[in-house]
Structure 1
Amino acid sequence: MIRVRDLRVAYGDRVVAEVPELDVGRGECVAIVGESGSGKSTTLLALLGLTEGARVSGEVSVCGVDVMKARPRALRAVRGAKAALVIQSPQAALSPTTRLGVLMRRALRLHGVTGGPGSTGGPSLTGGPDSTGGPDSTGGPGSMGGPGSMGKGSRGIDAVMAQACEAVLLDPAILRRYPHEISGGQAQRFAIAMAIALGAEVILADEPTSALDVTVQAEVVGVLRGLREERGLAVLLVSHDLALVSTIADRVLVMKDGVVVEAGPARHVLRDPDHPYTRELLEALP
Structure 2
Amino acid sequence: MISIRDLRVAYGTRVVAHVPALDVGAGECVAIVGESGSGKSTTLLAALGLTEGADVSGEVTVCGVDVLRARPRALRAIRGSKAALVIQSPQAALSPTTRLGALMRRALRLHGVTGRPSRAKSPSEEPGVPGGSPRGGIDGVMAEACEAVMLDPAILRRYPHEISGGQAQRFAIALAIALGAEVILADEPTSALDVTVQAEVVGVLRRLREERGLALLIVSHDLALVSTIADHVLVMKDGEVVESGPAAQVFTRPGHPYTRELLEALP
TM-score normalized by the length of structure 2: 0.94
- Size of the aligned set, in residue pairs, is 262
Report the residue type matching 1:159 in the other structure.
G
Match in the other structure for 2:25: 25
> Is contact 1:28-1:250 (8 Å) kept?
yes
Q: Distance in 2 between matches of 1:15 and 1:191?
A: 31
* Residues 201-228 of structure 1: per-residue CA shift (max 9 Å, x gap): 0000000000000000000000000000
Deviation readout 1:139-188 (Å, 9 max, x if unpaired): 956666269x9xxxx95101000000000000000000000000000000
Are 2:209 and 1:217 equivalent residues in the alignment?
Answer: no
TM-score normalized with structure 1 length? 0.88
2:128 matches 1:145: yes
Please tell me the root mean square deviation across aligned C-alpha atoms, in Å. 1.9
Q: Which of 270, 273, 276 matches 2:257?
A: 276
Equivalents in 2 of 1:270, 1:106: separation in Å?
A: 42
SS at match of 2:98: coil
Q: Which residue of 1 aligns with 2:239?
A: 258
User: Which whole-Å CA distance do the structure 2 matches of 1:47 and 1:139 have between them?
Assistant: 44
The residue that corresponds to 2:41 in the other structure is 41
* CA 1:140–1:77: 2 relative to 1, 3 Å: farther
CA distance in 2, matches of 1:140, 1:33: 50
Whole-angstrom CA distance in 2 between matches of 1:34 and 1:139:
52
* Structure 1 segment 78-93 matched on structure 2, within 5 A: 78-93=78-93
Per-residue CA deviations over 1:67-109 (Å, capped at 9, x if unaligned) read: 0111001101110000000000000000000000000000000
Alignment partner of 1:246 out of 227, 240, 245? 227
Q: Do the aligned residues in 1 keep the contact of 2:5 with 2:20 (CA within 8 Å)?
A: yes
Distance 1:70-1:171 versus aligned 2 partners, 3 A rule: same
Question: Mapping of 1:95-114 within 5 angstroms?
Answer: 95-114=95-114
Instruction: Find the partner of 1:163 among 144, 164, 178.
Output: 144
Distance 1:42 1:21 in 2: 15
Does the C-alpha gap of structure 1 residues 146 and 193 become closer, same or farther in structure 2, counting only changes over 3 Å?
closer
Match of 1:50 in 2: 50
Q: Give me the identity figure in percent.
A: 83
Unaligned runs of 5+ in 1: 117-130
Query: Which stretches of structure 1, 4 residues or more, deviate above 2 A after TM superposition?
Result: 137-147
Deviations 1:211-264 (A, max 9, x none): 000000000000000000000000000000000000000000000000000000
Give the 3-state SS of the residue equivalent to 2:252 in structure 1. coil
Shift in Å, 1:138 = 10
List alignment gaps of at least 5 residues for structure 2.
Answer: none
